[in-house]
Structure 1
């Protein structure tokens, strides 16, 4: 299991890995150079912390659950727990929204955040996941809490063809249908050409709780057909130049035909019942997510300067379940198309025996077209067309092989064209309607200069200190603000952007040959944040107010012997806001963003070289931060969240060099519990149970 940390210079473009330990699989490594799409650096130059989920961790977690949101909740300390559904609502990073990427291509839809951006690729196609924690503007709009970058697999062999074939079954001990999963990876190299082909298909079975009752069909991951395909082609022009082209396609659709049995918050869970009672006419899920990327690298464009160019295109659609919130009911979707280019130059300023300096500069260009409609064609938000041009500059200085200083600037120049539209007539909680009104669109302009600075001092192997300041700039949830407009022109709406200032201080090191650690504290502030709150008629609206989020996180990793390793992590955060903008931060940001403290623990053992056994534990602490109103009801996001503990079991056995079998069990003790969102949402429809025990058996053939 690899534990790594990466530092990302907020603006620029730099990603660095710190200490990496892979004690069960390889010998100890003191220095590793890895890449995250923009710039390679040495691990001793890290000014902040990042979690890297390595390929072997992904494959190990895949034995238990193929849902990437589940994999991340067990491997990223400061990421919120998942909902167990297709939506990643509430799965924030350090209390703020996260920007999701695939090989640097934006997947999130910040103009209308539909919370479907984490489940956009099959884990079998991933080489690693890099999680940059804290505000960042490396990739532009939407990274208030950080970045999750899915790095896809690449060819690592000189053979003409090599590959991995996997097939498996999933199921629960309550009867019903089994799930099936299959994936195929092919890679190779022919002269100067190399290729990687990845295909995956999964048909999930029914999902039931620990009592064998069907889970709620709303945003359900049951009875889904998941497809993923990736083709990556590379050509080495010469020793200095390389061209790479890739396509990634993902589709996830449900044909779960269950009715909805709405429960009572805190008493009776919402469940699925009655075959053939679904009101959905379109399968919910993400029917398409197409990503195309073309990259060009030149290590020696001219003396001391390298160049990286990335061109990309994304076409995304996600469909939600039936809702009677609006007049005549229906299903909504989010449609998004992005096209962009990144130009990255790296010039060496000097390179002496004990010091060196370099400057990284370039520009990012992005066009993002996003809209939310109903499946019958009615507009819920208008068409929003955003163009973002952002030049950046980063300076890095290394002194005495111990001290690293980085600083940078990025200029955000954003223009959004909003079409004229009519708001939908929405049904209030008391049964009355809000009338549809025409809203005149127009142009919105945003400009800002954001910066970052970081410093790391490698004192001794057992103590390395880092501190950083970074900013993020985003136009978050513009679509939701527009669709609930009560004004006939967008000029009267509060659409100011969110600028987040993130301060981080931490220490990392290796106390002995068998103990690694990291401890980080952070504070992030914003003069005008954005949170979901509940209006008097219990409808959701966005509250804009000053915010402060702060917290701590850390981990310990023990390797007392080569055949066993264990460790754990802890994360805690708090968020406060000044609702009246008077400097009185006595109000708390609700639990939809401020997740409960979380402990992750693991143990991995290889009693014999061919057998691997492991147990993962997730403990989510209780949250009791708010009180009920006069009617004894919690507002949205303020519900009391009880604690819960879940254990997963995973194992694998290498029959020989080519064959391996694995068995994993999620919720191995079949505990009946609810995900955090079921409690903090404080709504009957959201009060659902989590899945009971669920097993996965897989066979793998490697050649």
Structure 2
């Protein structure tokens, strides 16, 4: 198997880090239980936390650190950390997902925990070829408890040009927990109840010559709330308003509702012989709009006012890479990355009289003000990566990346606040990696490595404090260093991988009382073990599982303590999965268990774990493949990891815990059908 997440095509058994390919068939097997992309990946990738089930993937880290999500090499991460990287594509349009665990500088900032590169489907010569899919998910609670999905693609071409276009549409109903109660909306980050999404993805690949290819990709993705259910507060208009005793009612409407709207262009050119080297060029442009649910803020007179934000990001860039074989056993990759990111945000304030009179169900615009200071970040990076294979067994690697960032912050002054003066800042970061891999030539490989990655603290939440200026508060990147020792084996009956790691950094990001962030010189470390194993028995049976055990710590008053549950990045829980599967050429049946353990921080705050079971079956017929998936087979009642963190993060300042404790979905049944023809 070959991965391209390492910037150039590389055999997976020669990657000196924990690496995994999730094939599209594996992914769609998981989503046939009705779960979304991030939840499916959390059950398949051992170092990745389980999915939080809402629109956000806040707290879903890899190895306790942030993960960079890409689509065909284009980053979905923003400097304004919105945590919506997985609200970006429908699984119908995914060919495979490549996962590289651990700190990496391959794609710049945001990859301190690893890289997830989503590879999209492309066309093949011949045809035309078609693919159709449809599905419905329900827990049979009432008529609102139905999710619907349909998708269609067309592809084909000839020896010169091939293409594909895929359209996927999903319409979600209301969700219910194991008790049969309707799940409260996630008013902090928004969820996927009552949500409609459409993903339109097209590509054309031109074979210009035997040595040249040109690939054009375009995507339109929109995912937004279209329902009428909202949270009703019975005493907003009283003389002593509070947020207690809320309930879910029909009649919700707002002049600004939750939405993720993204447009992306991606152009790739490859020439296999430029002075004896491979040339890879990539140009991309991504525009994104993100809106949120109306949120209650306490006012100075004891009342509440509701507002919500809309945040816009534009990211453009150019990447150039040259790859060459200097000698028979030495290779060299080098290149340059150039990118520009622009951001602005507004806050819509809703009319208090209308909101109070309707108990928070109807929100009409009163005014719009700046929400965060706008910014522009220009990045310029150069990198060199080399490999030396002195024998058939040994491969040594080393690389360096130098990244320069210019940050320009706009003036920021909402009404009633003093001016936060904008300005310019810049910083440089140099990242190194070294590795050694030994191939035993019998299916076993072992490796050790040292690597570095970095994060840029969110400029929009770091700046913008009243009276603060950029010149007085320079922004620094947070470098993460990691050492890793790993082993993998692939044989006729086994597929296994294990890696022990230790990562550390010297700076911590923490929220303040106003949901802005501050940067502190506190040391932080994560260390643990991630492993996966699959055993094939006979022609039909397989048994396997994944494990991720780790410890996340922060140095407080000279002592290492378990990191607080609201410290960014949020600490991870131990997780494990087990599965047993029977399959032949026409049918399959899989039973899967998913387990997370309790996590308690140094203050005694806790994230509770849970155990759920999934049952997945499929049958191929002359009219397509029919699948039946049951998620949460035992109807376990639990709070999602994000719900528990949100309760600790937002309560009691912004209301009681139950408003933010987003519950897990109860038992659901998904019937789906797909056909390729």
- What is the TM-score when the length of structure 2 is the normalising length? 0.89
The 5 Å alignment of 1:214-363 reads: 214-218=182-186, 219-260=190-231, 273-276=248-251, 278=252, 280-286=254-260, 288-303=261-276, 305-325=277-297, 328-351=305-328, 356-363=329-336
CA distance in 1, matches of 2:673, 2:472: 60
Report the CA distance between 1:473 and its aligned residue. Answer: 2.4
Report the CA distance between 1:88 and its aligned residue. Answer: 1.1
1:50 aligns with 2:19: yes
Report the CA distance between 1:531 and its aligned residue. Answer: 3.9
1:617-669 Cα deviation digits (max 9, x unpaired): 110111223345xxxxxxxxxx322221011111111113x521111111122
1:661 aligns with 2:626: yes
1:529 aligns with 2:508: yes
Over 3 Å counting, the alpha-carbon distance change for 1:117 and 1:271 in structure 2 is farther
User: 8 Å contact 1:269–1:688 — kept in the other structure?
Assistant: no
CA distance in 1, matches of 2:592, 2:346: 41
Instruction: Find the counterpart in structure 2 of residue 456 from structure 1.
Output: 437
Partner SS for 2:191: coil
Over 3 Å counting, the alpha-carbon distance change for 1:499 and 1:555 in structure 2 is same
User: 8 Å contact 1:34–1:40 — kept in the other structure?
Assistant: yes
Instruction: Find the counterpart in structure 2 of residue 648 from structure 1.
Output: 614
Aligned with residue 518 of structure 1, among 488, 493, 497: 497
CA distance in 1, matches of 2:463, 2:433: 32
Partner SS for 1:490: coil
User: 8 Å contact 2:67–2:115 — kept in the other structure?
Assistant: yes
CA distance in 2, matches of 1:380, 1:283: 16
Cα RMSD after superposing both structures: 2.2
Aligned with residue 640 of structure 2, among 675, 679, 687: 675
CA distance in 1, matches of 2:407, 2:547: 40
Aligned with residue 45 of structure 2, among 35, 58, 76: 76
Over 3 Å counting, the alpha-carbon distance change for 1:604 and 1:53 in structure 2 is same
User: 8 Å contact 1:423–1:439 — kept in the other structure?
Assistant: no
* Unmatched runs of 5 consecutive residues or more in structure 2: 235-242, 300-304, 349-366, 652-656
CA distance in 1, matches of 2:200, 2:547: 36
Instruction: Find the counterpart in structure 2 of residue 468 from structure 1.
Output: 449
1:163-218 Cα deviation digits (max 9, x unpaired): 21111222221112322211112221223010011110011111111122111122
Instruction: Find the counterpart in structure 2 of residue 116 from structure 1.
Output: 84
User: 8 Å contact 1:359–1:395 — kept in the other structure?
Assistant: yes
CA distance in 2, matches of 1:269, 1:503: 49
1:501 aligns with 2:501: no
1:618 aligns with 2:585: no
User: 8 Å contact 2:417–2:466 — kept in the other structure?
Assistant: no
1:3-41 Cα deviation digits (max 9, x unpaired): xxxxxxxxxxxxxxxxxxxxxxxxxxxxx3343373112
CA distance in 2, matches of 1:90, 1:253: 22
1:418 aligns with 2:409: yes
Instruction: Find the counterpart in structure 2 of residue 172 from structure 1.
Output: 139
The 5 Å alignment of 1:512-661 reads: 513-532=492-511, 535=513, 541-544=517-520, 545-579=522-556, 584-592=558-566, 593-606=570-583, 608-627=584-603, 639-656=605-622, 659-661=624-626
Report the CA distance between 1:591 and its aligned residue. Answer: 2.9
Report the CA distance between 1:516 and its aligned residue. Answer: 2.9
Aligned with residue 97 of structure 1, among 63, 66, 88: 66
Report the CA distance between 1:66 and its aligned residue. Answer: 4.6
Over 3 Å counting, the alpha-carbon distance change for 1:271 and 1:94 in structure 2 is farther
Report the CA distance between 1:332 and its aligned residue. Answer: 0.8
The 5 Å alignment of 1:483-494 reads: 483=464, 485-493=465-473
Instruction: Find the counterpart in structure 1 of residue 162 from structure 2.
Output: 194
CA distance in 1, matches of 2:386, 2:540: 43
Over 3 Å counting, the alpha-carbon distance change for 1:70 and 1:37 in structure 2 is same
CA distance in 2, matches of 1:402, 1:270: 67
User: 8 Å contact 2:64–2:113 — kept in the other structure?
Assistant: yes
Partner SS for 1:256: coil
Q: When the two structures are aligned, how many residues end up with a matched partner?
A: 629
CA distance in 2, matches of 1:285, 1:314: 16
Instruction: Find the counterpart in structure 2 of residue 634 from structure 1.
Output: none
Report the CA distance between 1:270 and its aligned residue. Answer: 9.3
CA distance in 2, matches of 1:117, 1:691: 22
Instruction: Find the counterpart in structure 1 of residue 239 from structure 2.
Output: none
Report the CA distance between 1:451 and its aligned residue. Answer: 1.1
Instruction: Find the counterpart in structure 2 of residue 23 from structure 1.
Output: none
CA distance in 2, matches of 1:252, 1:106: 19
1:121-155 Cα deviation digits (max 9, x unpaired): 11111111122211111111222222221111112
